[in-house]
């Protein structure tokens, strides 16, 4: 059987059973749309967690007996620690300026001299923003001379780690449920479409058509229908995402390209698998 003939038969099959075909395409679109929304929500949740983690900083307060030269030497040593992304030296004057901007002039003016310590403000690499990795960095820093205190919001970072773990586990469970539900719904809808044409399959079998001759047009039919369903889900997802971006400008949304692009190949795979399983089941019952 030529591919051109099989493709024409697939198109004709979709047209002849257009009612059931539309139901199958619609079901595929809805199932994939739900899965696509889940993917976008997941990407945005991880995007938010990533943004929060990028704000994590280690504040190293220096002793008053350490001068600028020693502080800058310490800064260079800290920069060489694995996982450290950036180190800023905040001298006493700059610390006072930041305090005034945050709390006003009055409090510092009430004391005779600047009580604020110099510090090193450290940003870590994204892969080192968990509590365990930050503790490793802190252990290496606190061995150095001239360190008064190190602060990085340990309890807050540990809570963020726990939240990330909860989100990951929930994400896997929900993703598995939605994915399996989508496969089940699409496969059963395609199965109904094939069963409605059982008589045609039986006639072809009686006149001597081979299993491959019968299966290929149905397989292509399923792939075409699944692709159309995926394209519909992709279009709805794309326009919904853009609508959300325009109407909620204060929220930073994760890019939608991955979720949108996945819908069409997923639709083709689901449609093809559903058709193949259903046709094989019918052929087996006729054997």
End-to-end distance of the chain based on CA atoms, in angstroms?
22
CATH of domain 57-151: 3.30.70.3040
d(CA 262, CA 235): 12
The pLDDT of residue 234 is 92
Taking a C-beta distance cutoff of 8 angstroms, is the pair 140, 60 a contact? Answer: no
CA distances from 253 to 51, 119, 157, 235, 250 (A): 11, 35, 23, 18, 9
DSSP-derived secondary structure for 139-194: HHHTTSTTEEEEE--HHHHHHHHHHHHHHHHHHHHHHHHHHHHHHHHHHHHHHHHH
pTM of the model: 0.72
d(CA 67, CA 69): 6
What per-residue string of b and e applies to 57-79 under the rule 16 or more CB within 10 Å gives b? ebebbbeeebeeeebeebbeebe
Question: Regarding predicted confidence, which is higher, 266 or 104?
Answer: 266
The residue-averaged pLDDT of 134-143 equals 89
Q: Rounded to 5 degrees, what are φ and ψ at 60? A: -105, 110
Q: What is the CA radius of gyration of the chain?
A: 31
Q: Where are the domains of the chain?
A: 3-51+161-286, 57-151
d(CA 154, CA 33): 40
64: three-class secondary structure by DSSP: coil
CA distances from 11 to 74, 162, 166, 206, 274 (A): 72, 52, 47, 23, 17
Q: Under 8 Å CB-to-CB from 242, ≥6 apart: which residues?
A: none
Asked if residue 70 has pLDDT above 70, the reply is: yes
Question: Regarding predicted confidence, which is higher, 122 or 257?
Answer: 122
- What digits encode the pLDDT tens for the residues 177-211? 887 887 777 777 777 777 777 777 788 878 877 87
| Calculated CA dihedral for residues 101, 103, 106, 112, nearest 10 degrees | -80
Q: Rounded to 5 degrees, what are φ and ψ at 169? A: -65, -45
The pLDDT of residue 122 is 92
| pLDDT tier for residue 82 given thresholds of 50, 70 and 90 | very high
130: three-class secondary structure by DSSP: coil
User: How many Cβ atoms sit within 10 Å of the Cβ of residue 97?
Assistant: 14
Comparing 5-19, 58-72, 97-111, 142-156, which segment has the lowest mean pLDDT? 97-111
Q: Under 8 Å CB-to-CB from 220, ≥6 apart: which residues?
A: 6, 7, 9, 10
């Amino acid at each position: 059987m030529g591919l051109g003939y099989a493709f024409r038969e697939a198109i004709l099959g979709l047209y002849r059973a257009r009612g059931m075909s539309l139901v199958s395409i619609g079901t595929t679109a809805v199932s994939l749309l739900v899965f696509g929304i889940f993917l976008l929500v997941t990407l945005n949740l991880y995007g938010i967690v990533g943004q929060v983690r990028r704000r994590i900083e280690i504040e190293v307060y220096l002793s008053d007996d350490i001068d600028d030269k020693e502080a800058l030497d310490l800064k260079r040593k800290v920069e060489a620690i694995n996982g450290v992304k950036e180190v800023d030296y905040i001298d006493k004057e700059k610390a006072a300026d930041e305090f005034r901007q945050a709390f006003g002039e009055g409090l510092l003016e009430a004391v005779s001299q600047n009580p604020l310590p110099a510090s090193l403000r450290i940003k870590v690499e994204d892969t080192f923003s968990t509590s365990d990795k930050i503790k490793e960095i802190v252990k290496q820093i606190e061995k150095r001379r001239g360190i008064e205190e190190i602060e990085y919001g340990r309890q807050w970072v540990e809570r963020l780690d726990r939240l990330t773990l909860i989100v990951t586990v929930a994400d896997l469970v929900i993703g598995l449920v939605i994915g399996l539900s989508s496969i089940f719904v699409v496969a059963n809808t395609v199965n109904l479409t094939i069963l409605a044409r059982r008589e045609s399959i039986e006639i072809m079998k009686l006149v001597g058509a081979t299993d491959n001759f019968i299966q290929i047009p149905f397989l292509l039919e399923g792939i075409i229908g699944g692709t159309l369903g995926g394209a519909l889900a992709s279009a709805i997802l794309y326009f919904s995402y853009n609508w959300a971006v325009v109407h909620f400008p204060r929220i930073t949304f994760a890019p939608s390209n991955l979720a949108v692009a996945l819908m069409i190949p997923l639709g083709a795979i689901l449609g093809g698998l559903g058709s193949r399983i259903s046709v094989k089941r019918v052929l087996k019952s006729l054997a």
